[in-house]
Amino acid sequence: MAKFGQMNFENNLLFAQGLDQADPLKGLRNDFLFPQQNGKPFIYLCGNSLGLQPKAAREVMDVQMNNWQNLAVEGWFEGDSPWMFYHKELKKLIAPIVGASAQEVCPMNTLTVNLHLLMVSFYRPVKSRFRIIMEAGAFPSDQYAIESQVRFHGYDPAEAIIEVAPRAGEYTLRTEDILSAIRENGEEIALVLFGGVNYFTGQWYDMEAITKAGHEAGAVVGFDLAHAAGNVPLQLHDWGIDFACWCSYKYQNSGPGGISGIFVHKKHFGDATLNRFAGWWGYREQQRFKMEKGFVPEAGADGWQVSCTQVMPMALYHASLQLFEKAGFIEPLRAKSKTLTAYLFYIVNEVNKHLGEVQYKIITPPGEADRGAQVSIIAKQNGRYIFEQLVAANVLGDWREPNVIRLSPVPMYNSFEDVFRTGELLLSIGKALRI
């Protein structure tokens, strides 16, 4: 037995099943479809890469397919939910997930496309202030986007990009080192652009402190929330973050390649000096179909839209967002997530105790304020083999080169029994490796 917060954990099946019985969100599990292997459902711990399919996804797609069949082009203006305004139904459900007003968010495009569109507006380098601070080890797409934006403006990435890396022998960043890097380079920084949660380690950065330090240095501050939105509680408006974007297919279960979302703080809505790559769907809604020259943006985040509403991907996102509403949005999910992830920490540590060595080294921060629903593990040996053995036994996490197994217990559909069973397998695989 070990104490975590107010909870005394136990490493046995009855204890795990008892936690599941007491879980007020346990019914949400029945709203999802689990992949199967050999006639048995997977213990699915890969929601940090692709969330499970909500059962309602097929239903909402059928509704839109019927609208397309029966209304055709008139579907933009006719029916129960005309496509012209469909994104507004999603905006009011997205806003509480990221801590914003509905006017500050908009579902559109895909993540890296949105990152580029937002950097057009908010990365405005000049000779004396042109540098970008980001995390070393950011997701490659962010690295490529930032490098290409820097080059687009005529700067050398080697000079313009400052990466903050973990200290020698450490896997995660210290907040003090991030803030120090911002302050030390403050007069040259145009943009601070971080992930909210690091994809590799699962570390949740202190977004409020980073934003404050960036603004004190005179920089704009933005975040890629691919691994944060729908995972951890966010207060984008209150923290004063300038812009953010996210994908919706991880913790928000919108399907492979699902639609992205953006946030633009309302303090920027009246800034006519902001550049943007405009398209007709960002034009004033009431005048859009007059087809007039001269771009006049729609108020709010909607003014960053480029192309017309992606109805089918938006419908899939809508199906999952309604489950967030059913759950009571992020706070109840976060309460379960903290305990569920702490239990996985405990179980992995128990496995190491039984093996008599640290076979599975956790590199995710142990503090609940420093992580979301993810535990990243480095195996002492045979990491890829261990991952493959887990998959063969119906436990599906994911593998990240060179040596990390990521396990993500998602509060919407994972159970405490899932965590316990995963620990049983890690123990049996570890014992077999020692024979």
Cα of first residue to Cα of last residue in the chain, in angstroms, is 28
Q: Which one of 326, 346, 369 terminates a domain? A: 326
Residues 286 and 359 in one domain: no
> For the chain, how many structural domains are there in total?
2
One domain for residues 213 and 84? yes
Does residue 429 fall inside a structural domain? Answer: yes
422 in a domain, yes or no? Answer: yes
pLDDT for the residue 4: 45
Residues 68 and 27 in one domain: no
At what angle are helices 111-122 and 140-152 packed, to 10 degrees?
A: 40
Q: What pTM did the predictor assign?
A: 0.96
Would you state the pLDDT for residue 187? 95
Looking at 278, 310, 326, the residue that finishes a domain is 326
Same-domain pairing of 364 and 404: yes
- Same structural domain, 128 and 163: yes
Report the CATH number that the domain containing residue 312 is assigned in CATH.
3.40.640.10
Whether 411 is in a domain gets the answer: yes
Whether residues 12 and 103 fall in one domain: no
What is the separation of C-alpha 27 from the centre of its chain, rounded to a whole number of angstroms? 23
Same domain, 143 and 225: yes
Per-residue pLDDT of the chain (435 residues; tens, 9 = 90+): 554 455 799 999 999 999 999 999 999 999 999 999 999 999 999 999 999 999 999 999 999 999 999 999 999 999 999 999 999 999 999 999 999 999 999 999 999 999 999 999 999 999 999 999 999 999 999 999 999 999 999 999 999 999 999 999 999 999 999 999 999 999 999 999 999 999 999 999 999 999 999 999 999 999 999 999 999 999 999 999 999 999 999 999 999 999 999 999 999 999 999 999 999 999 999 999 889 999 999 999 999 999 999 999 999 999 999 999 999 999 999 999 999 999 999 999 999 999 999 999 999 999 999 999 999 999 998 999 999 999 999 999 999 998 999 999 999 999 999 999 999 999 999 999 885
pLDDT, position 3: 45
Q: Residue 19's domain is classified under what CATH number?
A: 3.90.1150.10
**Residue 39 covered by a domain:** no
Q: Buried (b) or exposed (e) across 21-56, using 16+ Cβ within 10 A?
A: eebebeebbebbeeeeeeeeebbbbbbbbbbbbbeb
Closest by CA to 377, choosing from 395, 396, 359, 353, is 359
The verdict on residue 46 lying in a domain is no
211 domain residue, yes or no? yes
Flag whether 402 is in a domain. Answer: yes
Whole-number pLDDT of residue 327: 98
Q: Is the same domain home to 305 and 319?
A: yes
Among residues 267, 291, 326, the one where a domain terminates is 326
**Angle formed by the axes of helices 383-392 and 416-434, nearest 10°:** 130
CB of 97 closer than 8 Å to CB of 254: no
Tell me how far apart the 2 most distant CA atoms of the chain are, in Å: 75
Claim to verify: residue 292 and residue 156 sit in the same structural domain: yes
3-state helix, strand, coil in the chain (%, to 5): 45, 15, 35
pLDDT of residue 434: 80
Q: Does one domain contain both 132 and 197?
A: yes
Q: Is residue 44 a part of any domain in this protein?
A: no
Backbone torsions φ then ψ of 15, nearest 5 degrees: -65, -45
Range of the domain at 279: 60-326
Is the domain of 90 the same as that of 133? yes
**What is the SS3 assignment for 328?**
coil
What pLDDT is attached to residue 7?
76
Q: CA–CA separation, 313 vs 305, rounded Å?
A: 15
214 and 195: one domain? Answer: yes
